[in-house]
Amino acid sequence: MIVVVLAVILFGAHRRLRRRKARRQRVEILRSLPDAIDLLVASLRAGRSTPESIDLVARHAPAPVRGGFVACIRAHDDGARFSESLDELAKHLGPGVWPVVDVLRDHLRLGVPLVDTAERLAVEARTSRRRANEMNARELPVRLAMPLVLCTLPSFVSIVIAPVVLSAFSQVGLR
């Protein structure tokens, strides 16, 4: 019976750690995405083609998003059409990158101007990152409340309350 309980506890802990790791990766991707989009826009403004710009981003993007761009370039190098290789980007980086994929596909299929649209997308991504950082900053006092109480309260009791109580007991014992 104990073995079953331990197995269930270990399975639950492993599953929770996996979820936490996946959530952390998604958050890091969403934090790094605005920088990758800015790099893409700068490359496009410099006159590079879209595949060349994606290749540049694959080489110089922040680490959390680099793998998706590398997978996109590999799929394109393996013979897939560029619009199809963008699926690899979405597959590796998750749903947060769909706006970028849609903008690139619209540019390739319909000829929509890419630089201005990608620039607006970068502004929206930076705004989203700033909002997420502000939310985390607002949650910080709540997260720190318990450690603050657990670390401060014992010292307060030992420094302020204990001497008063000891002196009161010593005075009561003398009378």
Whether 89 shows a pLDDT value over 60: the answer reads yes
Please give the model's pTM, rounded to 2 decimal places. 0.74
Q: Tell me the mean pLDDT in the region 32-48.
A: 91
Per-residue model confidence as pLDDT tens digits over 98-118: 888 998 888 888 888 888 888
Region 69-96: mean pLDDT is 89
If one counts every other C-beta atom within 10 angstroms of the C-beta of residue 156, the result is: 11
* Gap between the Cα atoms of 8 and 15, Å rounded: 10
How far apart are alpha carbons 109 and 118 in whole angstroms?
Answer: 16
Distance between CA 110 and CA 62 in Å, rounded? 30
Inter-residue contact 129 to 30 (CB < 8 Å): yes
